[in-house]
Amino acid sequence: MRKKRVRMLMLLIIFVMTISACGQTAQQTLDKPTIKIGYLPITHAGPLYLDAHVHGGQFEDYQIEMVKFNSWPDLMDALNTGRIDGASVLIQLAMKAEEKGIDLKAVALGHKDGNVLISSKEIHSTQELKGKTFAIPHKFSTHNQLLYETLKKDGLTYDDVNIVEMPPAEMPAGLAGGQISGYVVAEPFGALAVKLDKGHVLHHSDEIWPDSYCCVLVLRNDFIQNNQQAIQEMVSQYVKSGKLANQKGEELFASFDQFMKMEKEVLDLSLEWISFDGLRIEQAEYEKLRDLVIEMELMENPPVYEEFVDNTFIDKAV
């Protein structure tokens, strides 16, 4: 009888210790914020994919949750209404939201370069685009600005081309089917047309506008203010992930496989065109982009650098 009571007592002690440990774990999870980041399945979000892939997205001061969207408007609606905390997004879309009063901060670039103007194989010069239909993902995009700059550089006007907005994933099929004569969009959809032998590269972005900014990592400012330590760790990890992504090794491909489905040979070509290193948003480059936004009459009062860009965290990243 005594042995039975001792055994029962030991089981009770083990049970209490287990419940206590579970309680501590639960409290630790509650104390560690989950950062919900919206994304479209594109190559340009490579550092974020690595963040979420490494350690399953679990870090000392935060955990990251990637939230997939199929269109920029859907992503921006979630960001603007606070259903997600941040996003990998076209910088012009984030600037437009800031202009409309949504308090966002751009804390890092997503990448550098890596955009291409794709055309049908029958077109070999910008001048041959006159009168043709050309697709962009959104009017608030670097892709739209790259097209504008290309046409201006080669003696055409924006009105010389029939410009349409089209979801990125539909562009290669649109080109193959003859609905459009070309497009400019985030990767890997340019590389996909080349690998499918349905189009070719008419221009690389670095020929038109070297180091042009495209996708950026933005966060809601209210989330930043309430989670300073977590955001610092996240941005520091993001910088490390950018350097790792720039090596374009197997870990990057494993993270791509987790968050987007694309053949490795397409990704190989796409990654030849893109850089993930040096992700600080510099004022001179931002001002070039802002000036072009105004020239194209895309916004009346796009945010100035000091209002929109927060380099506090990336400058402290080690």
* CATH architecture of the domain covering 116-208: 3-Layer(aba) Sandwich (3.40)
- Taking only the tens place, the pLDDT of each residue in 206-244 is 899 988 899 999 999 999 999 999 999 999 999 999 999
Residue 184 burial (10 A CB sphere; 0-12, 13-18, 19+): buried
33-113+214-316 folds as: D-Maltodextrin-Binding Protein; domain 2 (3.40.190)
pLDDT confidence band for 140 (50 / 70 / 90): very high
What does the pLDDT look like over 76-87, one tens digit per residue? 999 999 999 999
Please tell me the distance from the alpha carbon of residue 167 to that of residue 155, in angstroms, as a whole number.
Answer: 28
Give the orientation angle of helix 72-80 with respect to helix 91-99, to 10 degrees.
40
> What is Dmax (Cα atoms) for the chain?
99
- Residue range(s) in the chain whose domain bears CATH number 3.40.190.10: 33-113+214-316, 116-208
Residue 16: pLDDT band (50, 70, 90) is very low
What does the block give as tokens for 50? 């690595």
Query: pLDDT tens digits, residue range 267-297?
Result: 999 999 998 988 999 999 999 999 999 999 9
> How many other β-carbons are positioned within 10 Å of the β-carbon of residue 281?
21
The reported pTM is 0.85
Q: How far is CA 118 from CA 72, 113, 191, 203, in A?
A: 21, 15, 9, 7
Contact yes or no for 187/43 (Cβ under 8 A): yes
Position 112 scores a pLDDT of 86
Name, in order, each residue with C-beta under 8 angstroms of 50's C-beta and a sequence gap of 6 or more. 241, 244, 245, 251, 252, 255
Write out pLDDT tens, residues 171-203: 999 999 999 999 999 899 999 999 999 999 999
Higher per-residue pLDDT: 236 or 31: 236
- pLDDT for res 5: 52
Q: What local confidence, expressed as pLDDT, does residue 120 receive?
A: 95
In the predicted model, what is the mean pLDDT of residues 138-156?
Answer: 94
What pLDDT, on a 0 to 100 scale, did the predictor assign at position 57? 86
pLDDT attached to residue 54: 83
Q: How confident is the model at residue 21 (pLDDT cuts 50, 70, 90)?
A: very low
Torsion of the alpha carbons at 305, 309, 314 and 316, rounded to the nearest 10: 80
